[in-house]
Amino acid sequence: MTAMELLRERYEIQGKNFDKAGEVAGEIKVVLRDLGIDAAHLRRLVIVAFEAEMNVVMYAQRGTMTLIVTDEDINLETTDEGPGIPDIELALQEGYSTASDEMREMGFGFGMGLPNMKKNSDEFRIESNTGKGTSVFSKIRLPAHE
């Protein structure tokens, strides 16, 4: 049986705009709460969304976030036009960071973002083209389907 799609939303993220950084994750939180997603799963997805959004804002020119909720799972795909990640395995190590001082002054870029996203996801995948951009896929299975 295929999963029934309950919601599909696409959000634009502006690169380098630190004032707005986090607004998309905030909107996603409201949307998921309105859908009746339980607090624990909602929290995990919003952490993934917030970290993904911050990465786009910090590193890329622009990006999009697509949220697809089915009766089985929540899927979040974040795609950006940015520098890409040359070594994904290295980028996933806690503490590894390529952040600038400006990013760290914003409270981000301590080498925890991607590991946090992976930890909160049931399925997690990064695809990246150096010089072109990065896509990050995250799936969180909903209670009846874990």
Partner 1 sequence: MKLSEIKELLQCEVLAGEDDLSVDILQVVASDGMSEILAFAKSRELMITGLTNIQSIRTADVAGVSAVIYCRGKRPDKKVIDFAKQKKIPVLVTSMVMFDICGILFNRGLKGVS
Closest CA to 134 of 99, 91, 70: 91
- Is residue 103 within a helix (H) or strand (E), and if so which, with residue range? helix 101-105
CB of 11 or CB of 50, closer to partner 1: 50
User: Residue 18 or residue 137: which is nearer to partner 1 going by CB?
Assistant: 18
Given CA atoms 123, 20, 63, 81 in this order, what sign does their dihedral have? Answer: negative
Minimum CB separation from partner 1 for residue 120, in Å?
Answer: 9
Instruction: Indicate the residue type of 12.
Output: E
Among 8, 26, 71, 132, binds partner 1 (CB under 8 A): 26
Alpha helices in 6-59 (DSSP H): 23-35, 39-59
CA neighbor of 125 nearest in space, from 86, 83, 78, 81: 78
CB of 138 to partner 1, least distance (A): 14
One residue of 5, 9, 10, 110 binding partner 1 per CB under 8 A: 110
The helix (H) or strand (E) run that includes residue 18 is none
Question: How are strands ordered across the β-sheet holding 5-14?
Answer: 5-14, 62-70, 73-81, 133-141, 123-129
- Of 1, 89, 101, 107, the one binding partner 1 by CB under 8 A: 107
Interface characters, 36-75, with partner 1 (x: CB under 8 A): ---x---x--xx--xx--x---------------------
Binding residue for partner 1, selected from 63, 72, 79, 113, defined by CB under 8 A: 113
Enumerate binding residues for partner 1 (CB under 8 A).
Answer: 18-19, 21-22, 25-26, 29, 39, 43, 46-47, 50-51, 54, 106-108, 110, 112-113, 115-116, 119
